[in-house]
Amino acid sequence: MHNAIEHLNSTPQQKPGYLGLSFRQLLLAAFLLIAALLSATSIHALFTLERMASNSSQTARQAVQLTEAAQRLAERTVAMERSARQYLVLDDEVFHDRFVEARDQARGAINELSDALPMAPRELYGQWTLYVDEASAVLESEQRRDKGEQLKLFQDFSRLPALNDRLALESRREVDRRNNALSTALEQQRRMLTLQVVGAILLAVLLAFCFGLWLSRPLARLEHAIGRLGDNRFDQPIDVRGPADIRRLGQQLDWLRLRLADLEAEKSRFLRHVSHELKTPLAALCEGAALLDDGVAGQLSDNQREIARILRHNTQSLQTQIEDLLRYNELAFDAQRLHPVPVDLRALLHKVIDDQRLQWLARDLKVEVDGSARMVQVDPEKMAIALANLLSNAVRFSPEGGFIRFLLADVSGTVRVECIDQGPGVAPTDTARIFEPFYQGLHQPSGARRGNGIGLSVVREYVHAHGGRVQLVPREGGAHFRIELPDEKQD
């Protein structure tokens, strides 16, 4: 007990990989990491969409500006020609001023188009400027009334609409090019965002799975440790690695294991002591009852002889029960000390059957073994006791002339041993308690000595000690017991 308290109060060594954090802190960190990943992806997607929306708005504005510049150039060109013609006819400076104003506005539009249309041929701008300069020179010269100069002026103006149309076409092409570039960029960003979102979701799922697996392992170890305690297996220390609070819980469980082991040892010592103290007076009672029944103390009447017989029978029964209790306690304690070696279950089962040959032949029974199983790591002595108890139980409940069948098989990573008889079976009310020690079932064979009720409980103790399980399989007509042992493949 002192060692158990020292074990609980000892300072735990920090296990690598958990940084001394508790389970709740690690769980919170996992959630925060996944939330940060998804939030970063969402923020990046938001900024990307905002940037693409800004680019789309800018492209739309530039398209409008290009269209307006081309339209303004065409309008100002018409205004220039009209003002020039009016000036030549009326010789009014007002019309010359209108021409200059329209020319300056047209030049502003042509400069705007020149800056916004990098793909357009540069000679278009040169030709347009040349024709406008020639027209301006004619209007400002003294020979503007000359027919030849006027013809030259009108030829220059006649060439400008074609240049304006080409520049308008280049404007539309530039708008289409920018729209296509924007559409391509939008598609690329869409694919990139899709990949990022899908990648973030997959990474979040992977992180959640990894964190879940990482954090669930200590819980699985705790569950396994509690299961061992429930099976009265106190020989293996409980060492749970994981977060700080889980490690502390594991240390408390290990303290509980040591305490339960001490209590189990104290119980065994108490039972042995009490049984020893009871056996001596019981033996004296049995001897006294036998002496009375034999008439040593004098001739007994029939009523006195019946009383002596009852005393003798019950003292012998009580002595048998005390011996059974001691034997079961020793078997349960011995189940915790296994010496597993590779064993051929079929050969071991044949040996058990052969050892009980006289019992089943006396009832004219047939015992069969079907199937085969691979070598398994078991304690041959204790497994032989478990199989012998199953066979003894089947022999006791089987009708004369019946058969008992054992089946061996490898199923889903386990080695299975099944025992089937033709007896009355197990009553539904006995199913839940059939493996409890000293429990007597409802269906007892007529004329047979009543059993002590520890045979099947010993089977369960030894099978559980090997990490396996034993169960009663529902069946009409006869009992069907199944043992499943872990299939540890040999190297």
Q: Measured between alpha carbons, how far is 153 from 136 in angstroms, rounded to an integer? A: 9
CA–chain centroid gap for 206, Å, is 10
Token pair in block for residue 136: 């301006």
Q: Please tell me the predicted confidence (pLDDT) of residue 14.
A: 42
Nearest-10 crossing angle of helices 302-334, 455-465? 10
Token pair in block for residue 70: 């081309």
Quick check: 387 and 349 in contact, CB under 8 A?
yes
Quick check: 196 and 26 in contact, CB under 8 A?
no
Express each pLDDT in 349-397 by its tens digit.
999 999 888 889 988 999 999 988 888 889 999 899 889 989 988 998 8
DSSP bridge pairs for 371: 408
Q: Please tell me the predicted confidence (pLDDT) of residue 19.
A: 53
Report CA torsion sign: 46, 48, 51, 57.
negative
Low-confidence ranges of the chain (pLDDT < 50): 1-17, 447-449, 490-491
Write phi, then psi, for 470 (nearest 5 degrees): -130, 140
Q: Measured between alpha carbons, how far is 116 from 174 in angstroms, rounded to an integer? A: 8
